[in-house]
Amino acid sequence: MRTVVITGGNKGLGLAQTSRFLEAGWTVHVVSRTEGDLGTLAPGPGRLEWQRCDLGDGSDTDYLDQVCSREGGISALVNNAGAHLKKPVWEVSPAEFQRVLDINIKSMFAACGHFVRLQGRDSDNGEAENCGAIVNISSMGGLMALPSAAAYVTAKTGVIGLTRSVAVDGASRGIRCNAVCPGFIDTDMTRAILEKDPARRERIERRIPSRRFGLPDDVANAVHFLASDESRYVNGAILPVDGGYAVGF
Ligand SMILES: NC(=O)c1ccc[n+]([C@@H]2O[C@H](COP(=O)([O-])OP(=O)(O)OC[C@H]3O[C@@H](n4cnc5c(N)ncnc54)[C@H](OP(=O)(O)O)[C@@H]3O)[C@@H](O)[C@H]2O)c1
């Protein structure tokens, strides 16, 4: 059975990813500070495990060792945990900037390196293949600046550079690494913000070429594809899931 570790797989976009992998029969290990909404998931053909872990200091990778020793290996890692900071650049303190970097990119950097160390296999002839896949969750904010999100945009842009670097370094050890950049997705958080400002929601919808917000399942399907063998020759891809927002209107 294939095993995936999903950081922040307990709510929001991560919960939809957990559900998608369970439906496809994977063993899913969710890593987060709380159990969040995991209790709402219908049992699928897969198996669900949860591990409490605070990734906020950006260096903990013990959770990967624990899953590896319990399951005998990890097929895929989804680095989804993240946090936003809605402030213009001049209002962000050094401590706030550091916190955003720690959860959105430092923890991801540590996880990518450790995953390649654990799962990768050196190949004498350069043909190591299929030792594992990493999917990093960036954002439309990794592809373009968003208003009042300087720290977040800095981190999510870094995720793209990290993904490309891991794709190149990891390939010699049989590990692929790709990123997904969600655009405007209908989550509880975006609904709560935009319910107070329906005119803004309409403006955004008009600006999206597909004329609708994305669904958490739209992101989960892309993540599942990049984690599975169906994408075995896809490495270093930066995949927007944004209804065309990043390419124009
Ligand atoms: N929603 C969107 O429209 C959108 C758009 C573009 C990109 N994204 C990206 O997609 C990912 C998920 O976003 P979301 O909207 O689903 O966010 P969310 O609902 O706020 O969920 C964030 C997740 O990260 C976990 N997390 C946060 N801090 C953590 C920490 N210190 N240690 C361990 N886990 C931590 C949370 O779990 P606990 O609180 O239980 O720890 C939660 O599962 C993020 O990387 C976000 O930047 C989202």
pTM to 2 decimals? 0.97
Q: Which of 13, 61, 100 to mutate to test the pocket of ligand 1 (most atoms within 8 A of CB)?
A: 13
Tell me whether residue 152 is one of the annotated catalytic residues: yes
Phi-psi sector, 58: left (phi>0), alpha (psi -120 to 50), beta: left
Q: Is 139 in the pocket of ligand 1 (CB under 6 A)?
A: yes
Distance CA 187, CA 228 (A): 25
Q: Is 207 in the pocket of ligand 1 (CB under 6 A)?
A: no
Q: Which of 6, 7, 29, 33 to mutate to test the pocket of ligand 1 (most atoms within 8 A of CB)?
A: 33
Segment 94-143, tens digit of pLDDT:
999 999 999 999 999 999 999 999 999 987 666 678 999 999 999 999 99
Identify the pLDDT of residue 65.
98
Name the CATH code of domain 3-185+215-242 (choices 3.40.50.450, 3.50.50.60, 3.20.20.70, 3.40.50.720): 3.40.50.720
Inter-CA distances, 135 with 51, 81, 99, 177, 234, Å: 19, 12, 22, 6, 11
Distance CA 166, CA 76 (A): 14
Distance CA 43, CA 197 (A): 36
What is the residue-averaged pLDDT of the chain? 95
Smallest CA separation from ligand 1 atom 45, residue:
82
